[in-house]
Structure formats: C-alpha cells, structure tokens
Amino acid sequence: MAIQKSSAPTIIDVAERAGVSRATASRAMGGYGRIAESTVELVRKAAAELGYRPNEVARAMRQGRTRTIGLVIVADFTNAFFDRATKAIVDAAKARGYQVLITNTDEDIAAERQAIETLVDKQVDGLIVVPSTSAVHDHLASIQTSGKPLVLIDRRVDGIIATSVTTDDFSGTEAAVRHAHAMGHRRFGFLIAAEGKYGHSSERPALLISTVEDRINGFLSGCADLGIKARQQSWMFCEDNPRDSDQAVAKLLDQPKAPSVILTSNNDMALALLKTAGNRRLAIGKDISLITVDDSQWAAAMAPGITVVARPVESLGAIAVEKLLAEIDAPGQKAEKIVLPTELIARGSVANLVMYPENEPENY
C-alpha cells in the first residue's frame, strides 16, 4: 500500500505532474527565463491542483530582496497622526508590491533598538523610522552600516545622514498664534506632550524631539512678533498620559489670570483639555479657546469644530515610501531633508473677542 505524503508539495511534485523538468517548473512559477506561455499555464495549473505554494523566503534570498519594509513607529495607534501615517505607508508600499512589518516602541529607546535589530534580522529591504530621541542614534547608524536604506519621518536626528520627511511645525504654530491674536486673544497657554519621567512641569525639559522644538520655537516666534510678553504666556510640559495631562490642564486653568486660548501640541493633549473643560462645564470657543496640532475626524465633527494646525500625513507617508524604494532600487541616492507645509484650519473653537469684546478677559 502506498504511503500518502504528509508534507507540503514541492516544485519537484509540480514538475512531475506537469510533465516538465524541475528547472522548467521553477522558471514557470518564478516568471523568469524564456518559456512558452502554454508551458507556464500547464505548470501553474499543476501547482494549483497540488496546492503548491512557492517558498517566498527562499526566493527572496536568491534574489536578494524580500519586498518588505520595516516600519518603526513610536506611539500607540490611537494617536490620530501615527494611525494615519501608518496607513499611508502601508497603502503606498502595497501599491509598489511591498509589504510592511510594523513595530511599536512607545517612545522607548531600548524598544526601538530591539525593533530595528529584529527587522534587520528579518531581512527587510529598508526601514522607515520615527526616532524616539534625538540624543541617541548609534542604532540608526548601524542600519546604514548593515547596508539597509533608511528614511526618517516626522522627526529629524542630527548626525545621521539619511533622508528625512517632516512637516513645517514651526510655521504651523506661528500661524496658530497669529490667528488667535487676530481674534483678540492676549493670554496664551501651551500644553506640550514631552517624553520623560517627570510628570508635569512648567519647566522646559533639557531634551525634546525635533517636532516639539519646532512647535515651541514657532509659538515663541509668533509671540515675539506680536508683542506677547512672557507674563502673557503659560507653559506646561507633561508626560503623555491621562493623569499628568489632566493635572497640567488644571494648573493652566486655575491660574489667577488664566489663558483665554490654549494651544495643544497633539490630539492627546487636546482631548485632555476637552475632558477637563467638560467636567468644569466650560464651553469651548466661549469660556476657553483651543487650537491643536494635527487634524482628525473627531476634531472636524465636534460642535464647535476644533481649529487645527493640519499636517499632510498621507503625503508624508507616501513620500517616505517613495524615497526609501528609490534607495532600494538604486543605492547611493543623495540624502534629502524634505519639509512639507502645514495648514491652519480655522473652525469654531477660538472665540472671536474682536467681534464680541464683552467676552474679553481682563488684560494685563
């Protein structure tokens, strides 16, 4: 009695069923070499009947390509920016025949190191990385040493010669300050998510990622140009967690002369302000005004809608893939610093104190 095979069918099984040589079957399944179309159809029909699946890993190793990209993302995917950026990268890669292996580091440099090591070990063709810190980057340099193309997104890292795709956050927050000032606001608050184990504080941390630095500098530039003095500005830096962000919002609102408008550095900080305002029955766009960095569906759907500094997230992801694949296809591309423009989208969350001066708080 014949013993039934329990293992998966091989290319030899396909060749035998199709009545061709192993080499011919391999060429037909791989789509290379000179071979008649009728033979290709015969071989592929045999493969389908047997349930044969090519060994993609072995094929990739022979070709020197896995057609995969490693994406090292920093935050959880409830963050609207990283959720949209990830989808944009996956969609752009898929359109070019690439798959994306995604890792999440939660802004932890040790997790980032491990993620990069794992992706390199998996033989990805290149990596797109959102760096956790600008201070430590030897592991990023090691990517390039391994010969893997690298593109940085959302954040720059000095000392790494690699293409970066970022947004003009400086101009974005500067425009936000100008917009609020034009609406009659003179007391400004800035609630900033910053990494570090310090809870929340009005003191600026020693190390900040490049996007946060840009947002701070844009805010300061706008204030300086408009004559908004330091005593008219209130700052709070906090860890990106509910407890510290809630307490930071409370400290901003409980000052003797609280800001009439608060700029938040991301959607998580905006949600913290909205939650506290709701608990205190403060009306957004009347009792307290809000502008945040990054647009989202909920920001547009709220009543009133939230004024935002919108960043071109989909373009950022698509360009990152384009630049990475260009380096994969033709190594030695010149590193670029690509900065995409932001857009201020004015909605109803900023009170118009010019039109309704009776709502204007006491000036300094």
Residues 6+ apart with CB under 8 A from 21: 15
Q: Which has the higher per-residue pLDDT, 138 or 191?
A: 191
Residue 264 has pLDDT above 80, yes or no: yes
Indicate the domain borders of the chain. Answer: 11-54, 66-167+312-340, 169-311+345-359
Predicted pLDDT at 8: 78
HEC letters along 45-109: HHHHHHCCCCCHHHHHHHHCCCCEEEEEECCCCCCHHHHHHHHHHHHHHHHCCCEEEEEECCCCH
Dump pLDDT digits (tens) for 82-123.
889 999 999 999 999 999 999 888 777 888 888 888 888 888
Residue 144 has pLDDT above 80, yes or no: no
Task: Report the distance separating Cα 221 and Cα 241, nearest Å.
Answer: 28
Burial code of 165-176, b = ≥16 C-beta within 10 A, e = fewer? bbbbbbbbbbbb
Task: Report the distance separating Cα 20 and Cα 145, nearest Å.
Answer: 44
Fold observed for domain 11-54: 434 Repressor (Amino-terminal Domain) (1.10.260)
Fold observed for domain 66-167+312-340: Rossmann fold (3.40.50)
| Per-range mean pLDDT, top range of 127-136, 207-216, 233-242, 308-317 | 308-317
Q: Which has the higher per-residue pLDDT, 198 or 320?
A: 320
Q: Is the CATH number of domain 169-311+345-359 3.40.109.10?
A: no
Residue 336 has pLDDT above 90, yes or no: yes
Residue 178 has pLDDT above 60, yes or no: yes
Q: What is the pTM of this model?
A: 0.81
> One fold for both 11-54 and 66-167+312-340?
no
Predicted pLDDT at 2: 43
